[in-house]
């Protein structure tokens, strides 16, 4: 979700350095552009600020082993919800890289540490997904519901890897590095051949070797990340040009493997990325499933479970200071005799809405013609952006497909701290009535 509220950070980062100083200004600039805030250097062990993720920056350490142990201990004392990311220079030895991997995710950077922000963004997205998964399970238990997690049972299997790029010694090195962990290695040369390979085979990971900034493999990697059917595919970039990898990591958040790290690190990183992608995909499928939302076969939560879960989410928001918003989408039938057609149209709107919002956003039926969405971590501006997208896409679809719907209206509000579910729903309904009358809704 794009951060539209620059006055309130979407996440707080504790950036700990070996010398106790602050990160360079370009890191602050990249963090501000992503909507994140970096804590000032303070005594974290005493103050323990509320942070979402911690960074242990070991680039300035003289004795790397001792500095790593000290900084990692301080980072864990902060207890960030999204865990720890270690930043180290790309030129460290193989033994040091092996040691650091035991403690957390490792980002290798050159002179510019700004690409780390993109890696933090991906880690925070996974953390938000897992957090909603945990809260949803707590709501199941508190509501006396039973559920199964059959989708999370996955037998270990060797990887299927797709290697794409021009023939070169680097491509050959990538193929040789993964033969021990991969049961199938397919090699293609162009982006078009990658698309044809994905149509005919299933791959766990892909390694792209772009020849330059304008290589279509980079554009294809962006498209695969946004495609719902290829979310399980982890794409890595490798190149002899370290600056190209830095630009791709900073702009798009792609995982990259340096040319001199292929032989020692590629196989391990592919295995971790594949397991993580499968886990994230399983969580998304569960949260979108009828079993995961406590609803019927249409994917909408029943009213009692929605209210029960909202109370838990609201209480958690008051404890953490994070925003929670509600959005509503309403269909207006042309006549009182169009109830059956309106119910069918709402089912169609529900299926479309499930593709427009995040997996962690819960959907419920507020009335026979109205849907309500609970958006965790979304401010008023962001939630209104979601409402406008819902109204535009669903309105444009339904008004052309059925003549029984007169209009489609959507609005959103941000829940005020301390408000209960009844008060928040009442404010949302008043905002929806104003939207139907054409008035400007104040949120």
pLDDT tier for residue 154 given thresholds of 50, 70 and 90: low
Q: Which letter, b or e, does each residue of 386-407 get, where b requires 16 or more Cβ atoms within 10 Å of its Cβ? A: bbeebbebbbeebeeebebbee
Q: How many Cβ atoms sit within 10 Å of the Cβ of residue 223?
A: 13
Element (H, E) at 11: strand 11-17
Spatial contact of 118 and 253, defined as CB atoms under 8 Å apart: yes
Element (H, E) at 138: helix 115-142
How high is the pLDDT of residue 281? 85
Nearest of 16, 29, 26 to residue 60 by alpha carbon:
16
Q: Which domains does the chain have, with CATH numbers?
A: 11-129 (3.40.50.2300), 155-288 (3.40.50.2300), 303-437 (3.30.70.270)
Joined together, the tokens standing for residue 14 give 């504790």
Angle between helices 216-226 and 242-252 (to 10 degrees): 30
**What number is the average pLDDT over the span 283-311?**
85
DSSP state of 233: -
> Which tens digit of pLDDT belongs to each residue from 45-92?
445 557 889 998 888 776 677 777 888 888 888 878 888 899 888 888
Better-predicted residue by pLDDT, 383 or 201: 383
Q: First-to-last CA distance in the chain?
A: 19
Strands (E), 68-201: 84-89, 105-109, 159-165, 182-188
Q: By percentage, how much of the chain surpasses pLDDT 70?
A: 91
Q: Measure the CA–CA gap between 105 and 280, rounded to whole angstroms.
A: 16
> Which tens digit of pLDDT belongs to each residue from 162-182?
999 988 898 889 888 888 888
Q: By percentage, how much of the chain surpasses pLDDT 90?
A: 29
Element (H, E) at 82: none
Stretch among 128-132, 219-223, 289-293, 420-424 having the lowest mean pLDDT: 289-293
438 phi-psi bin (left φ>0, alpha ψ -120 to 50, beta other): left
Provide the β-strand partners of residue 57. 17, 87
CA distances for 50 relative to 38, 210, 345, 347, 437, angstroms: 11, 40, 44, 41, 42
How far does CA 22 lie from the centroid of its chain?
Answer: 27
How high is the pLDDT of residue 64? 72
Stretch among 245-249, 276-280, 392-396 having the lowest mean pLDDT: 245-249
> Which tens digit of pLDDT belongs to each residue from 93-126?
888 888 888 888 888 887 777 788 888 988 999 9
pLDDT tier for residue 401 given thresholds of 50, 70 and 90: confident
Spatial contact of 377 and 10, defined as CB atoms under 8 Å apart: yes
Q: Measure the CA–CA gap between 224 and 195, rounded to whole angstroms.
A: 10
Better-predicted residue by pLDDT, 226 or 374: 374
> Which tens digit of pLDDT belongs to each residue from 302-335?
888 999 999 999 999 998 888 999 999 999 887 7
40 pLDDT exceeds 70? no
Joined together, the tokens standing for residue 19 give 């010398």
Better-predicted residue by pLDDT, 1 or 225: 225
Spatial contact of 430 and 443, defined as CB atoms under 8 Å apart: no
Q: What secondary structure does DSSP assign to 54-71, as a single string? A: EEEE-TT-SSHHHHHHHH
Spatial contact of 42 and 72, defined as CB atoms under 8 Å apart: no
pTM reported for the whole predicted model: 0.86
pLDDT tier for residue 293 given thresholds of 50, 70 and 90: confident
Q: Measure the CA–CA gap between 396 and 390, rounded to whole angstroms.
A: 10
Q: How many Cβ atoms sit within 10 Å of the Cβ of residue 412?
A: 29
Hey, is 192 helix, strand or coil?
helix
């Amino acid at each position: 979700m794009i951060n539209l509220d620059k006055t309130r950070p979407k996440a707080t980062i504790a950036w700990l350095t070996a010398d106790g100083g602050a990160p360079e200004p370009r890191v602050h600039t990249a963090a501000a552009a992503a909507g994140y805030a970096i804590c000032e250097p303070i005594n974290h062990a005493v103050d323990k600020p509320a942070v979402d993720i911690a960074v242990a920056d070991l680039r300035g350490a003289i004795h790397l082993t001792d500095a790593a142990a000290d900084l990692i201990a301080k980072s864990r004392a902060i207890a960030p919800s999204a865990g720890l990311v270690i930043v180290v220079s790309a030129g460290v030895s193989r033994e040091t890289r092996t040691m650091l991997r035991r403690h957390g995710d490792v980002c290798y950077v050159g002179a510019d540490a700004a690409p780390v922000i993109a890696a933090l963004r991906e880690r925070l997205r996974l953390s938000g997904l897992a957090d909603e998964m945990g809260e949803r399970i707590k709501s199941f238990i508190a509501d006396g519901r039973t559920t199964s997690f059959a989708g999370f049972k996955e037998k270990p299997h060797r990887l299927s890897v797709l290697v794409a790029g021009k023939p070169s010694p680097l491509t050959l090195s990538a193929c040789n590095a993964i033969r021990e962990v991969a049961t199938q290695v397919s090699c293609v040369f162009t982006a078009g051949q990658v698309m044809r390979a994905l149509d005919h085979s299933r791959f766990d990971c892909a390694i792209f070797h772009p020849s330059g900034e304008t290589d279509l493999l980079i554009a294809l990697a962006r498209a695969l990340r946004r495609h719902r059917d290829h979310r399980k595919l982890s794409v890595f970039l490798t190149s002899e040009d370290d600056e190209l990898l830095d630009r791709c990591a900073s702009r798009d958040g792609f995982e990259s493997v340096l040319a001199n790290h292929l032989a020692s690190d590629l196989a391990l990183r592919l295995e971790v990325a594949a397991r993580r992608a499968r886990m994230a995909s399983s969580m998304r499928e569960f949260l979108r499933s009828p079993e995961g939302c406590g609803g019927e076969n249409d994917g909408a939560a029943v009213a009692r479970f929605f209210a029960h879960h909202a109370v838990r989410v609201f209480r958690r928001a008051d404890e953490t200071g994070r925003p929670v918003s509600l959005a509503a989408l309403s269909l207006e039938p042309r006549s009182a005799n169009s109830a059956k057609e309106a119910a069918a149209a709402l089912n169609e709107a529900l299926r479309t809405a499930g593709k427009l919002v995040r997996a962690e956003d819960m959907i419920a039926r507020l009335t026979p013609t109205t849907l309500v969405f609970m958006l965790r971590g979304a401010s008023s501006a962001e939630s209104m952006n979601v409402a406008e997208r819902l109204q535009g896409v669903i309105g444009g679809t339904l008004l052309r497909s059925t003549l029984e719907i007169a209009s489609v209206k959507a609005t959103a509000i941000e829940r005020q701290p301390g408000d209960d579910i009844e008060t928040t729903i009442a404010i949302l309904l008043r905002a929806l009535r104003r939207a139907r009358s054409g008035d400007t809704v104040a949120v």
